[in-house]
Structure 1
Amino acid sequence: MSGLVNALMIVAVVVVVIVRQFRAQQIGAGRRWWLVPLILAVVALREPGILDVHHRTASAVLLGAELLIGLATGAGWAWTTRIWAQPDGSVWSKSTKASVTVWVIGIALRVGLYALGAAVGVHQDSAALLVALAATLLVRSGILIWRAQTVAPAAGSTAAYGDPMVRSARKERV
């Protein structure tokens, strides 16, 4: 794929992820939470230009730093996400304002890496960013699934309109 197609894929995935993260979503352990990150990684690793052929060492160091930033962003994002359980046992998540901070810091660090690479003359392909995005999503999903297993349902459910009412048995006087 061309760099333009990769860039469009990155923008589309980031927009979908950011829009979805601020809506409450049910976490399901049975889902294939690893599938989207796997597809992104495969698409990125198929690209021949993930490392600059003229600056292999510097390019590999920048790619490693990009992956570390992606892993840290995914972990920070997962730990700043609010998780709760409903009385029926379903577990839900929703990102917080702290999650926005994690995203902003992650993006700033990635822009800084790109600027550093450009300053030393390393050609950076969009495949490196795609691999880091896959790492971010994989770590976030994995940590959320792990956290969801430790969340207990809310104690004491409240009755909603339409729920069958449980009436306490009172003693009648004769």
Structure 2
Amino acid sequence: MEPILISPLIIIAVVFVVYRQMQRRPTAKRGILFTATAMIVVGIASGGAVDPRHLALSLCLVLVEAVIAVALGVWRATTVRVWLDDSGVSWSRATAWTMLVWLASIAIRVGLYFAGGALGLELSTGGILLFVGLTIGAQAYVVARRGRALSSMDRRPDTVVG
């Protein structure tokens, strides 16, 4: 896909995901994981994540980007508020801290994008989709695990004394 076409779609997707995170949502929903997986698949399938002219360097950069994307997703997930309602259903909602970490994530990704260009690598939107998919997926997975942990703690039987 042409960068001029895919770039606005990436921005729209990120804005939509962040908007949805600011809403109260059950943690058991898996739709965001499908979205993240689709972004990862399209990012890889569209090509350009690896520059064949500088294979070793671009593979190292993709690996660094993947590790950073997952780490930022996990970090954001720790800033999301997760709680149980009266019926034992776990819910989540992003906080102001989540928004700050989103801004840091975007700044870091832009920095990595330009670092690749400065190293002489061909820039592509496939790498951006891969990064965004990984970071969104990592965050959604950790938030869902936190919700399941709360739910399982709520259902533990009390210890019997005597």
Question: Fold conserved (TM > 0.5)?
Answer: yes
Per-residue CA deviation, residues 75-105 of structure 1 (Å, 9 max, x unaligned), is 0111110001110112111111211221122
Query: What does 1:45-84 align with in structure 2 at a 5 Å threshold?
Result: 45-84=44-83
Q: Which has the higher helix share?
A: 2
Match of 2:48, SS state, is helix
Query: Contact 2:21–2:93 (CA<8 Å) still a contact in 1?
Result: yes
Match of 1:49, SS state, is coil
2:90 is the alignment partner of 1:91: yes
Match of 2:52, SS state, is coil
CA–CA distance in structure 2, aligned partners of residues 37 and 69 of structure 1: 16
1:3 maps to which residue?
Answer: 3
2:40 is the alignment partner of 1:41: yes
Deviation at 1:70, TM superposition (A): 0.9
CA-atom RMSD, angstroms? 1.9
Q: Which runs of 5+ in 1 are unaligned?
A: 156-174
2:27 maps to which residue?
Answer: 27
Q: Letter of the aligned partner of 1:24 in structure 2?
A: R
Identity of aligned residues (%): 27
CA–CA distance in structure 2, aligned partners of residues 86 and 114 of structure 1: 42
CA–CA distance in structure 1, aligned partners of residues 31 and 99 of structure 2: 25
Query: Contact 1:6–1:127 (CA<8 Å) still a contact in 2?
Result: no
CA–CA distance in structure 2, aligned partners of residues 152 and 146 of structure 1: 10
Deviation at 1:48, TM superposition (A): 2.7
CA–CA distance in structure 2, aligned partners of residues 90 and 152 of structure 1: 7
CA–CA distance in structure 1, aligned partners of residues 39 and 100 of structure 2: 24
2:124 maps to which residue?
Answer: 125
2:108 maps to which residue?
Answer: 109
User: Could you say if the C-alpha distance between residues 96 and 124 of structure 1 is closer, same or farther in structure 2, counting changes exceeding 3 Å?
Assistant: same
2:160 maps to which residue?
Answer: none
CA–CA distance in structure 2, aligned partners of residues 61 and 34 of structure 1: 26
Query: Contact 1:6–1:130 (CA<8 Å) still a contact in 2?
Result: no
1:151 maps to which residue?
Answer: 150
Q: Which runs of 5+ in 2 are unaligned?
A: 155-162
Deviation at 1:33, TM superposition (A): 4.6
Q: Letter of the aligned partner of 1:17 in structure 2?
A: V
CA–CA distance in structure 2, aligned partners of residues 91 and 100 of structure 1: 21
CA–CA distance in structure 1, aligned partners of residues 135 and 95 of structure 2: 17
TM-score (norm 2): 0.85
Per-residue CA deviation, residues 111-131 of structure 1 (Å, 9 max, x unaligned), is 221221122211121111101
